[in-house]
Amino acid sequence: MRLTSSLRFHRQNNKTFLRIFMILVLSCIPGRTNLCSNHSDTRSSLDSLDLEGYITFDDVHNASKDFGNRYQFPPLAILHPKSVSDISTVVRHILHLGSTSNLTVAARGHGHSLQGQALAHQGVVINMESLPSPDIKIYKGTQPYVDVSGGELWINILKETLKHGLSPKSWTDYLHLTVGGTLSNAGIGGQAFKHGPQINNVYQLEIVTGKGEAVTCSKKLNPELFHSVLGGLGQFGIITRARISLGPAPHMVKWIRVLYSDFSTFSRDQEHLISKKKGFDFVEGSVTINRTELLNNWRSSFTPNDSTEASQFKSDGKTLYCLEVVKYFNKEEANSMNQETEKLLSELSYIPSTLFSSVVPYIEAVRSSGEAKTLLVNGEEASFVISNPSHTKP
């Protein structure tokens, strides 16, 4: 009797559960219809905006992933702006739609982010390279600077500033990146220990805020916004223009590479170099695992200090640490530069047979460094930089 009552109770509960479940399912169907309707309405509203540029909805594959290749999030639309006003208009419009649209916005330069920062799942990706780049304006004086578009590439800035004997003080290794992209992250390279990352060498920014307002900011004008945007991963505003500090550009560089087999010795030497007031102008390291004929590959750009010893060195099956350093100089300073370089190298504990060097024009060294690092990444090597804490942004 008790068993029969229990079965009847469970059956009634099951029926009740099924009824509730069916009600929930049926109630979700109109909701889904509304979502599709909202999606269509959002697309139509974006398509109807009065823009100098244009919005695309179909060809969004290239904006669905970034260099990290870990995430794939297709956007609803891509904005190809022809003015800062286009960016402001779209951001204001999305703000006006409110939270019901669920639209997000992401600025995208060359798409070299690693964690999906340049992606906007079913949102709007802004193709910053479509933003016209006016003439790069260079201002000389006691504190020279250059005004550039947020979509401008660093390689173009280098070429233009060198015509005036100037260059930015801090570089990333790879130069085919947009200004807005690196300034939204940090912009760390081999000069960061000396001049700080790129975000420490900016005088002024023009940004579009989350409200769609075009705002100018600096250390004195809207300082909180200025420091939030720099290194802010695009979460506090979209960089549309930047005023970047410049310094005298050297004519030549001496470029040196050496290898270590012990990480502690390698890192100790790196830290020693960045602590010196008068040392190298560029210090960077990388780690390589099981690279065949590593030193022979260097011979295309570098000359070994001892060719015989270098040819006998075997890199196969080893974990090695590469220290890369650069000394800037002008042609009349060659002798003193060589003396300073020899003294600095004598203070290090690298593998003697792996000393390679090259003397090249400044622009060639900057461009080649980026190409070399790209090859290192493809060859399963990882690069890293030890920065001086005194130059980090507050």
* DSSP letter (8 states) at residue 103: -
Q: How many CB atoms are closer than 10 A to CB 164?
A: 14
To the nearest 10°, the Cα dihedral for 345, 350, 353, 354?
Answer: -90
Q: Distance (Å, rounded) from C-alpha 242 to C-alpha 222? A: 15
327: β partners: 254
Six-digit token string for 376: 């290192």
Which whole-number Å values give the CA distances from 118 to 68, 101, 124, 126, in the listed order? 10, 20, 10, 9
CA–CA separation, 376 and 383 (whole Å): 8
Q: In sequence order, what E strands does the chain have?
A: 54-56, 77-80, 105-108, 124-127, 137-139, 145-149, 166-168, 202-208, 214-218, 238-248, 252-260, 282-289, 303-304, 319-329, 356-361, 382-384
Evaluate whether 123 touches 152 at the Cβ level (below 8 Å).
no
Q: What angle do CA 91, 92, 94 make, to 5 degrees?
A: 65
Provide the token pair at 258. 């050496």
Rounded CA separation 305/301 (Å):
13
CB atoms within 10 A of CB 43: 14
Question: What is the three-class DSSP state of 227?
Answer: helix
**Which residues are known catalytic residues?**
112, 173, 284
Residue type, 270: Q
Q: How far is CA 153 from the centre of its chain?
A: 12
